[in-house]
Structure formats: C-alpha cells, structure tokens
Amino acid sequence: MSTPTYSGSCLCGQVRYEVSHITSTSHCHCSMCRKAHGAAFATYASVLKENHVFTAGAALVKTYRSSAQVTRSFCSACGSPLLWHSQGDFAAWVSFPLAALDTPYLPPRQKHIHVASRVPWFPIADDWPQASAD
C-alpha cells in the first residue's frame, strides 16, 4: 500500500508543493499564527522536512524569522503563508497551512494549541484536545 501524496499551492498558484506522511493537524491560536493568517487561528499539518517538496515557484518562496525559534515561509508574489518550522526539538519538521492543499484531505485527528492566547470572540465549540502552554 503506497502513501498518498497531497498537492498544495499559494493563492496566485505560482508556488506549488507536494506532501506525504502527514502526521498531525493542529489549530494554532498563538498571536503570531493569527497575525500571519489574519484569522482567529491557523490550521496546520506537519510532516518531516523530506516529505515536503516544492514542485514549482521555489524562487518565489521568501522567509521571515518571526521569533528566535520560528521561521515562516511565504510566496513573495501573493503573500500566502506556505510553511513554518522551528529550531530545537522540532527542527526535522515543517508545518504547512492545511487549507492551502488542492488535494482533499480529511485529518484523522485534530487539536487546538496555544489556546491561552486565543481571541475572546471565537469560542472553541468542539471536543478536540486543547493545549494552553507555549
């Protein structure tokens, strides 16, 4: 049985990527993710770095160091968030916005993280696990 591959892209379609072996999905409520996405939270899926490959437009991918530990990648043409990755314990992993996938994907599990930072005007109304600590 082969592992499914999923395709994703930025808003303008110039940057494209493929991912496989998606291991987790989280809805991040931290202030940096909220600002990067302009939303109440950002939904990410995580894969090992070798399971994420840019297939088009890699020259358009730019990075921004949003904190001492986190670097975010985005399309320089349209501004779409593409990835974030961390130093330290999670250096082998990248996370990408799940909503940027062009291939349908239904996560088997989801969780909310950094809920202590969530906006007060969006209540969490599901029963998925929640983590408050950063």
Over range 75-92, report the average pLDDT: 91
CATH code of the domain covering residue 41: 2.170.150.70
- Which of 4, 2, 3, 1 has the alpha carbon at shortest distance from 103? 4
Structure tokens at 70: 């986190």
| DSSP helix/strand/coil, 8 | strand
Q: How confident is the model at residue 94 (pLDDT cuts 50, 70, 90)?
A: very high
Range of 28's domain?
5-118
Per-residue pLDDT band at 113 (split at 50, 70, 90): low
The answer to whether 30 touches 114, Cβ cutoff 8 Å, is yes
Neighbours of 67 (CB within 10 A): 11
Alpha-carbon distance values, 97 to 15, 47, 86, 110, 121 (Å): 14, 12, 15, 13, 22
Q: For residue 134, is it within any domain?
A: no
Domain count, the chain: 1
> Is a pLDDT exceeding 90 seen at residue 98?
yes
Instruction: Please give the average per-residue pLDDT across 30-40, as a whole number.
Output: 86
Neighbours of 48 (CB within 10 A): 13
pLDDT above 70 for 124: yes
Q: What is the pLDDT of residue 61?
A: 98
Task: Give domain status of residue 108, yes or no.
Answer: yes
Residue 42 lies in a domain: yes
Cα gap 101→103, rounded to integer Å: 5
Structure tokens given for 125: 């109304």
Please determine, for residue 72, whether its predicted confidence score (pLDDT) is greater than 80.
Answer: yes
